[in-house]
Amino acid sequence: MKTVPFSKAHVEALAKRYPTPFYIYDETAIRATARKLIDAFSWNPGFKEYFAVKATPNPAILSLLKEVGCGTDCSALMELVLSENVGIVGENIMFTSNDTAAEEFVKAKELGAIINLDDIRHIEYLEKHAGLPKLLSFRYNPGEGREGNAIIGKPTEAKYGLTKKQIIEAYKIAKQKGVERFGLHTMVISNELESEYFIETAQMIFELAHEIREKAGVELEFINLGGGLGIPYRLEQEAVDLKKISDGVRDLYEKAVSGGTMPPLKLMMECGRYITGPHGYLVSTVRHIKETYKKYVGLDACMANLMRPAMYGAYHHITVLGKEDAPNNHVYDVVGSLCENNDKFAIDRELPEMEPDDIVVFHDAGAHGHAMGFNYNGKLRSAEFLMSPNGEFKMIRRAETSDDYFATLKF
């Protein structure tokens, strides 16, 4: 069962001043989840979680994660600027980009971020545009070297990272060009709930670390295991077993560095979804009920507020406030108002009997929710609120207005 940390009365009071749709994030829960991840890996001195900014790019969220001890994982110029604005700079930023612009490398270098290169050719490109930093990391793509995992997709089809041959060469080149400190990164999994996949990835990357050491003669300072920890969007799914992942990685880590064959390494992660996903809610009001060949619940939110269902067929659980205990004995498509027939939050969803003005809450919308918003069909982006530990709702982003919409237009 999924519960909502605020009541119908809370939302009604808020909606009187700020019309729905809007997002609410649960500060207490975000802090607790970030701490849980950091604690799980506290056996590794130097472990750091770099929160993937793209998941929830709001400075208020980044600030509270900074207080818990997180850095940021950025992949674009504005994500670097967001980090800078909340005082996350230097090696508290991991810059894991791809198809990177020169100005982005310049900014990352200026902030002293850890630069994690996606391609062997980027060594020269970075050198030319920003100069090479003393610390450099590379992103590994295992290609055929990673087997037996349907969920990760085929690494050979992924645009990210360097091949095995390239990455060894890349460390040699970087070293020869005067780079002194080195890191290694991989991320081949997304929204994964099975612990085994993370442990297998760790095994692969520790083996690679040894190979890099032998063949390129460089000492790695850290290994970044990437993000990709999944969350249980569906009621029947179970949360990832952090302890199991941590124990599994620890075993492999200790073997990898045992007997002093390899100096201690700092481990890092770049989770986004896991930290904020479960603790963000999209709140929307029912406008119309429609009955034709199917029954429709028409909301004041649309795919422009939360595009995951339309984009990936993703499931987001729905709670109808005040009807939590009513039987789910009606079947509806829950839709928005875009002139696109895939603007559906849910298809054939069993819900209580719905009526106009019901307030629906979409669960697990905290990551890649508001962040993926867009202005198609003239839709304006919604407000975001942070529910603080004392139960107050703090506005951390106002809703867009028509002035915002017209701000970039010239006529």
Ligand X SMILES: *Cc1c(COP(=O)(O)O)cnc(C)c1O
Asked whether the CA dihedral 110, 112, 118, 124 is positive or negative, the reply is positive
Q: Can you tell me whether residue 347 is helix, strand or coil?
A: strand
- Using the minimum distance from each CB to ligand X, give the nearer residue, 63 or 190: 190
Q: How far apart are CA 32 and CA 20, in angstroms?
A: 27
Least distance between ligand X and beta carbon 32 (Å): 17
Q: How far apart are CA 167 and CA 171, in angstroms?
A: 6
Q: Which two tokens stand for residue 3?
A: 């519960």
Least distance between ligand X and beta carbon 304 (Å): 21
Give residues in contact with ligand X (CB under 6 A): 52, 54-55, 73, 75, 96, 187, 190-191, 226-229, 270-274, 367
- Using the minimum distance from each CB to ligand X, give the nearer residue, 286 or 365: 365
Q: Which two tokens stand for residue 114?
A: 């850890």
Q: Terminus-to-terminus CA distance in the chain, angstroms?
A: 52
**CB within 8 A of 369, min separation 6: which ones?**
23, 56, 280, 282, 305, 306, 308
Least distance between ligand X and beta carbon 259 (Å): 32
The residue written with tokens 């991989």 in the block is 186
For the CA atoms of 171, 174, 180, 185, what is the dihedral angle to 10 degrees? -50
- Using the minimum distance from each CB to ligand X, give the nearer residue, 133 or 228: 228
**Residue 339 designated active-site:** yes
Least distance between ligand X and beta carbon 272 (Å): 3
- Using the minimum distance from each CB to ligand X, give the nearer residue, 138 or 393: 138
For the CA atoms of 142, 204, 51, 74, what is the dihedral angle to 10 degrees? -30
The residue written with tokens 């481990």 in the block is 267
Least distance between ligand X and beta carbon 321 (Å): 28
- Using the minimum distance from each CB to ligand X, give the nearer residue, 227 or 278: 227
- Using the minimum distance from each CB to ligand X, give the nearer residue, 61 or 187: 187
Could you give phi then psi for residue 114, rounded to 5 degrees? -75, 120
- Using the minimum distance from each CB to ligand X, give the nearer residue, 159 or 410: 159
**Kind and range of the H or E element at 197?**
helix 195-216
Q: How far apart are CA 265 and CA 256, in angstroms?
A: 10
Q: Which two tokens stand for residue 389?
A: 């530990």
Please list the helix, strand and coil fractions of the chain in percent, rounded to the nearest 5, in that order.
35, 25, 40
Neighbours of 244 (CB within 10 A): 15
Least distance between ligand X and beta carbon 233 (Å): 12
Q: How far apart are CA 146 and CA 165, in angstroms?
A: 15
- Using the minimum distance from each CB to ligand X, give the nearer residue, 301 or 367: 367
Q: How far apart are CA 234 and CA 223, in angstroms?
A: 32
Least distance between ligand X and beta carbon 260 (Å): 31
The residue written with tokens 């605020």 in the block is 6
Least distance between ligand X and beta carbon 9 (Å): 33
Select which of 74, 271, 302, 339 is catalytic.
339
Residue of this chain nearest to ligand X (CB atom) = 227
Task: Describe the crossing of helices 27-40 and 59-68 by its angle, rounded to 10 degrees.
Answer: 40
Kindly list the catalytic residues. 339
